[in-house]
């Protein structure tokens, strides 16, 4: 009986070794296959394989159109309401009447807000390499309004968009009546719209990581690959940059909404990692975007 027990133990050990070797072989084959597939995807470009690229483009376009059509059909009530609202707004825009002054005012406000939202998107959409529109546009705009407010001793300038030169009003005001809060109120709209644009610019990393997690594929993006390597070697991280990235990832993953809000409310060059983390761990869209919008467009902009 002792010999039979020894034989059984040896068989068990042998089977576990074979299973371990099999898992190791399968994982290495899987990684090799992923590497080959990534290389094949990199070769599918218009100047190397134009016909294959156009074929995949057409197929992907048809698939997306089919999915969007199905989604719109399921929400056809909302679609009809939106179309009716657009028709009413179009009619109000082109029909002459006393309401045209309000239409022109709303049109001017809309394009002014869209201008700053677009600059905010340009600032954050490049995964940390975007155009620094705060230093180039918003900062000088705030500085010019501040200087004009102290020079004119008033903030009653023309409504934005401002003319080429800010003209002081004719009314007389007492010296020293300009407060910091009055200047903040004058530039709050532009600053908040710029912050909302930066929040919108953080969405591509979120959607990229979320799509990769749901599909099981690895996107050809260096930022996402760095994030995957950081998760694999989280315990062995020693340098400050790796520990900082890991701290951001842990804060967002464990605290949730308020962790995202804290990361978005301070000048944080690692916030792209927060977007990738939220997408990778399938954080709901409105949780991520709501916290990012409040943090960047309200809290961070007032601090700046």
pLDDT number for residue 275: 79
Residue 17 resides in a domain: no
Q: Indicate the average pLDDT of the chain.
A: 78
- Of 80, 95, 110, the last residue of a domain is 95
290 and 189 housed in the same domain? yes
- Of 71, 95, 119, the last residue of a domain is 95
pLDDT number for residue 35: 77
The model's pTM: 0.69
Pick 132 or 19 by higher pLDDT. Answer: 132
166 and 224 housed in the same domain? yes
104 and 54 housed in the same domain? no
60 and 177 housed in the same domain? no
Lowest-pLDDT range of 153-157, 164-168, 244-248? 244-248
pLDDT beyond 50 at 94: yes
84 and 231 housed in the same domain? no
Residue pLDDT, tens place only, 199-244: 998 888 888 888 877 776 555 555 555 555 655 555 555 555 566 6
Q: What is the mean pLDDT of residues 38-57?
A: 82
Lowest-pLDDT range of 51-65, 125-139, 173-187, 236-250? 236-250
- Of 62, 95, 128, the last residue of a domain is 95
Residue 64 resides in a domain: yes
Q: Report the distance separating Cα 177 and Cα 174, nearest Å.
A: 6
Show the domain range for 132: 96-303
pLDDT number for residue 2: 46
105 and 242 housed in the same domain? yes
Residue 19 resides in a domain: no
Q: What is the mean pLDDT of residues 21-50?
A: 73
pLDDT beyond 70 at 130: no
pLDDT number for residue 274: 75
Lowest-pLDDT range of 8-12, 164-168, 245-249, 294-298? 8-12
Give Cβ neighbours of residue 216 (< 8 Å, ≥ 6 apart): none
Q: Report the distance separating Cα 71 and Cα 76, nearest Å.
A: 9
Q: Do 227 and 277 touch, CB atoms closer than 8 A?
A: yes
210 and 90 housed in the same domain? no
238 and 212 housed in the same domain? yes
Q: Report the distance separating Cα 130 and Cα 223, nearest Å.
A: 15
Q: Report the distance separating Cα 117 and Cα 301, nearest Å.
A: 13
Q: What is the mean pLDDT of residues 140-158?
A: 84
176 and 292 housed in the same domain? yes
Residue 257 resides in a domain: yes
Of 200, 9, 221, 235, the residue nearest 116 (C-alpha): 200
pLDDT confidence band for 17 (50 / 70 / 90): very low
Domain count, the chain: 2
142 and 263 housed in the same domain? yes
Residue 20 resides in a domain: no
Of 194, 187, 184, the residue nearest 114 (C-alpha): 194
207 and 72 housed in the same domain? no
pLDDT beyond 60 at 22: no
């Amino acid at each position: 009986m002792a010999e039979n027990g020894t034989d059984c133990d040896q068989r068990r050990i042998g089977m576990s070794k074979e299973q371990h070797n099999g898992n190791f072989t399968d994982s290495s084959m899987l990684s090799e296959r992923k590497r080959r597939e990534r290389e094949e995807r990199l070769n599918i470009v218009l100047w190397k394989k134009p016909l294959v690229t156009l074929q995949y483009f057409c197929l992907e376009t048809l698939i997306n159109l089919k999915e969007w059509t199905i989604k719109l059909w399921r929400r056809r009530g909302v679609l009809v309401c939106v179309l009716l609202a657009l028709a009413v707004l179009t009619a109000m825009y082109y029909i002459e009447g006393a309401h045209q002054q309000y239409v022109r005012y709303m049109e001017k406000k809309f394009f002014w807000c869209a201008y700053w939202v677009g600059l905010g998107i340009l600032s954050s959409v490049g995964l940390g390499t975007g155009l620094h529109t705060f230093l180039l546009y918003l900062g000088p705009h705030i500085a010019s309004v501040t200087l004009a407010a102290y020079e004119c001793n008033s903030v009653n300038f023309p409504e934005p968009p401002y003319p080429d030169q800010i003209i002081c009003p004719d009314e007389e005001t007492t010296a020293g009546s300009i407060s910091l809060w009055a200047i903040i109120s004058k530039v709050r709209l532009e600053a908040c719209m710029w912050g909302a644009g930066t929040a919108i610019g953080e969405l591509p990393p979120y959607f990229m990581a979320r799509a990769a997690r749901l599909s099981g594929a690895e996107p050809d993006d260096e930022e996402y690959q760095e994030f995957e390597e950081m998760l694999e070697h989280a315990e062995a991280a020693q340098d400050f940059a790796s520990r900082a990235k890991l701290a951001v990832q842990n804060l967002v993953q464990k605290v949730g909404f308020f962790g995202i809000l804290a990361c978005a409310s301070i000048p944080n060059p690692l916030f792209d990692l927060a977007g990738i983390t939220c997408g990778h761990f399938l954080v709901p869209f409105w949780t991520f975007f709501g916290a990012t919008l409040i943090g960047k467009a309200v809290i961070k902009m007032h601090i700046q």
